[in-house]
Amino acid sequence: MDSSASVEIQDLIQASSVVSVWNLFSATASKVPHATAVQNDEKEFTYSQLKLRVEMTARFLARQGIARGDRVALLARNCIEFLEIQLAAAKLGIILAALNWRLGERELQHCIALVQPKLLICQHEFVGAIETLGIGDVALHTLGDIHERELSDLTEPSFANSQRLMSGEDGLVILYTSGTTGMPKGALISHRAMIARAMCFTSELALKHDAGFVAWAPLYHMGSMDHALATLMRGGTVFVVDGYQPDLLIELLETAAIGWFVLMPGMVGDFASICKKRRVKVKDVTACGAMADLVPREDIAAVTKVLNAPYLNTFGATETGLPPATGALINIGVAPQNLPKRQSAFCELRLVDPDDNDVAFGQPGEVAVRGPTLFSGYWQANETNAYDFRNGWFHMGDVMRRNEDGTLEYVDRVKYLIKSGGENIYPAEIEQVVLQDARIAEAVVVRKSDSKWGEVPVLFVVKNGNAIAEQDVKRLCERDLSKYKQPKEIVFINADELPRSTTGKIQRHLLEEML
């Protein structure tokens, strides 16, 4: 075989291996055209109907002169049209910037300016807010514009059968990470990464191809976006719910088979209580939960009982998907003392010291990961990317320790480390100790300057009722923590007084300012 022929064959092989989220959704629509693809409390569409609506949306976007690699920003609550626009972007090779509608004016303006979209689409209720931002030459359309302009001609063959050439590394979506300080960063997720996330998670939980998914958490968040798209590539139904609505969620749980039912910290105990009171009879849930480290242990036990499903002990991120350590399940009815994670399949994971050397078993180290689910870096952030991807590994900024049996224990974020008298104190270790007590609803540890030790830990506590006093909390800490790790102050606070970001994360720097 001569070299020119070899190159030509390699090009053909490479072209045949290119796959996109659109390709896989389209293939699934051909296999199960009459199966329900999406549904909310008002309407539902089969796979063939959804594909036609996506074609319509893609034609609208193409007519705006948007080219491969351009950005379209979307500001909308959870709705079926959100997924239609994402799939249309996937078809055209353009990047959807999924804006967080909970952001303040300054943050939202930053997120739009960061990605420089050619087009901004929003629900009608957000038009006024967008117009006050001053978005310059960016064209503004509402969700209604698309359907009104294109609905009369859904079957135009010249466009319906077209396909933009693209690579698996083409950007699919930008999801914004919500730091506890500073402005959000835009994490670029490729077709390759989204498909790998779907494959990895389906394999880890052994999900059936038609397992349903309830997208009630915001679709601008990876917890809903990743798994809604995975479900549509696989052949299941995505049930779209606009936020935490217990009545709707219970109705779905009683009538539909769900693969992974997402639970978010802050709602687990309430939802478990409602389900128990109503004696809910769940049809079928493979697993429930998320972020067990942030949920009171008794709430984990309660919710698994009422849902008759194990709790998924997750550890992932917008940048990585549910890898690198989502796989361990907490059995039904168990209030765990510890929360060991299991390393996910299809990824590599190291725990490293500040010099990027591997740490020994039992020693805390920063998580460094690589694998096909990884994002493609932060948008317009070269210095940050160079640092976070140093030495060929993505450094997550999270600290874990590996046990002798191979399991992983979450320790804390690197930046939350408290240096007290030369000793390292990780706030999460203290928080996990006190959260074992059912009388405590939330616990947050922050640092406080100290003339003798440099820094000391201070514990903020949200009570679950009024049955616990400061002395009780001190005894918990004295029993299970080394003396230098024990909080020097305990502050009781109401849940609504805890400063949070728009995605619910505690803003520790504001608690430190309170001290």
DSSP string, 206-275: T--TT-BEEE-S-TTSHHHHHHHHHHHHHT--EEE-SS--HHHHHHHHHHSEEEEE---TTTHHHHHHHH
Q: What percent of the chain has pLDDT over 70?
A: 91
Of 372, 260, 371, 245, the C-alpha closest to 313 is 260
- Look at residue 65 and tell me whether its pLDDT is greater than 70: yes
Distance CA 316, CA 377 (A): 16
Q: Which residues pair with 330 in a beta bridge?
A: 311
pTM of the model: 0.83
Set out the domains of the chain in order of their start, with CATH numbers.
17-191+202-228 (3.40.50.12780), 244-415 (3.40.50.12780), 417-515 (3.30.300.30)
- Look at residue 135 and tell me whether its pLDDT is greater than 90: no
pLDDT in tens, 32-60: 999 999 999 999 999 999 999 999 999 99
Look at 12-26, 95-109, 234-248, 305-319 and tell me which has the smallest mean pLDDT.
Answer: 12-26
Q: How confident is the model at residue 234 (pLDDT cuts 50, 70, 90)?
A: very high
The residue with tokens 């135009």 is 156
- Look at residue 493 and tell me whether its pLDDT is greater than 60: yes
DSSP letter for 283, please: S
Q: Average pLDDT in the 87-106 region?
A: 92
